[in-house]
């Protein structure tokens, strides 16, 4: 466990500097999940949020994570700041545009959830000059001159400003809800991901309604986020869980395991519901049972759960 927090530095380094093919051939399976969220502003700058999450399965791992947290401001944060500033300087040369990284901050917490206790480290910073702004819109991608690599349990989310719409995305994303999302394991070519945003016309009467809707979403999201940070948010079924006999429960669990095995050992929970044609509450209860038995693991991917068979179950 002592080396896990330091691995986030290596993960960020891979994201910016490693060639995709080389990283894909040499990167070990990560023991943590990483989410990179890039929010592009209409002036071409971007705010970055890098979240590193690892399961703390023992008291020794909790103690080690707490020690890492104490060293975060003095040791690890300066390392990340130096890395990002050097990355921006190198990208600036390739793009022939001034780029700087500033306002680098960090935070670390231990979170409790129904699936266990997690250590979470978050780095945030502002990247000025990240995207190219023209009269027609915004072009994103030249800052990634060397390409990118996402490990298997990593997610890249790109968000863009209001008043713009994507006119071109390369490569095709895995999801276009709440931003543009790519999941690892994936290698990007030089200059990718590449996104071209065009300005969209908006009528005046719609603006107050849209603004009010966004404000409502922010209020609700903030409330959920605070509860989640406190470790009290649990996924609840949207409908009553039907009473099933022991044989019926085992039958549903077996169907889920066979379905996962036939799909390389992983599927999104929503796809399992769709393919089995069962109520969401029934699938959710069965997945909880399989998780408690150690047959599957749940990986949070944006707003969805990715369900994976453990390795010994896929063989």
In this prediction the pTM is 0.58
pLDDT of residue 48: 95
Q: Is the pLDDT of residue 137 over 50?
A: yes
Query: How far is the first Cα of the chain from the last one, in angstroms, to the nearest whole number?
Result: 27
pLDDT of residue 49: 95
Least confident among 21-25, 125-129, 296-300: 21-25
CA distances, 60 to each of 2, 63, 64, 75, 230 (Å): 10, 5, 6, 21, 22
Q: Is the pLDDT of residue 211 over 90?
A: no
At a CB cut-off of 8 Å and minimum separation 6, what does 150 contact?
15, 156, 182, 183, 184, 185, 186, 187, 188
- Three-class SS state of 259: helix
Q: Is the pLDDT of residue 312 over 70?
A: no
Q: How far apart are CA 295 and CA 191, in angstroms?
A: 40
Select the highest-mean-pLDDT range: 82-91, 199-208, 220-229, 305-314. 82-91
- Closest by CA to 11, choosing from 169, 185, 172, is 185
Q: How far apart are CA 113 and CA 100, in angstroms?
A: 37
Burial of 256 (0-12, 13-18, 19+ CB in 10 A): buried
**Interval 253-264 mean pLDDT:** 89
pLDDT of residue 83: 84
Q: How confident is the model at residue 172 (pLDDT cuts 50, 70, 90)?
A: very high
Sort residue 294 into left (φ over 0), alpha (ψ -120 to 50) or beta. left
Angle between helices 59-71 and 4-17 (to 10 degrees): 60
Provide the mean pLDDT of the chain: 77
C-beta separation of 267 from 305 below 8 A: no
Q: Is the pLDDT of residue 294 over 70?
A: yes
**Interval 53-80 mean pLDDT:** 88
Q: What is the pLDDT of residues 115-133, one digit of tens each?
A: 788 999 999 999 999 999 9
- Compare 298 and 209 and report the one with higher pLDDT: 298
């Amino acid at each position: 466990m002592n080396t896990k927090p330091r691995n986030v530095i290596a993960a960020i380094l891979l994201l910016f500097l490693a060639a995709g093919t080389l990283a894909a051939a040499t990167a070990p399976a990560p023991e943590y999940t990483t989410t990179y969220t890039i929010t592009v502003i209409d002036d071409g700058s971007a705010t970055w949020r890098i979240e590193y999450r690892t399961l703390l399965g023992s008291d020794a791992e909790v103690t080690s994570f707490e020690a890492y947290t104490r060293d975060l401001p003095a040791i690890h944060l300066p390392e990340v700041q130096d890395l990002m500033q050097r990355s921006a300087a190198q990208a600036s040369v390739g793009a022939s545009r001034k780029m700087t990284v500033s306002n680098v901050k960090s935070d670390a917490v231990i979170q409790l959830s129904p699936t266990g206790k997690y250590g979470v480290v978050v780095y945030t910073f502002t990247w000025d000059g990240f995207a190219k702004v023209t009269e027609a819109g915004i072009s994103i991608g030249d800052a990634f001159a060397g390409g990118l690599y996402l490990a298997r349990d990593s997610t890249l989310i790109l968000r863009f400003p209001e008043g713009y719409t994507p006119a071109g995305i390369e490569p095709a994303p895995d999801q276009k809800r709440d931003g543009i999302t790519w999941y690892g394991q994936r290698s990007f070519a030089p200059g990718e991901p590449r996104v071209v945003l065009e300005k969209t016309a908006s009528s005046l009467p719609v603006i107050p309604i849209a603004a009010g809707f966004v404000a409502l979403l922010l209020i609700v999201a903030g409330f959920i986020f605070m509860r989640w940070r406190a470790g009290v948010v649990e996924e609840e079924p949207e409908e009553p869980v039907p009473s099933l006999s022991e044989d019926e429960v085992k039958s549903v669990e077996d169907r889920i395991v066979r379905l996962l095995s036939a799909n390389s050992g992983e599927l999104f929970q929503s796809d399992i519901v769709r393919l089995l044609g069962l109520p969401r509450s029934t699938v959710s209860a069965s997945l909880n049972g399989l998780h408690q038995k150690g047959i599957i693991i749940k990986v949070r991917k944006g707003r969805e759960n990715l369900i994976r068979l453990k390795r010994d179950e896929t063989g």
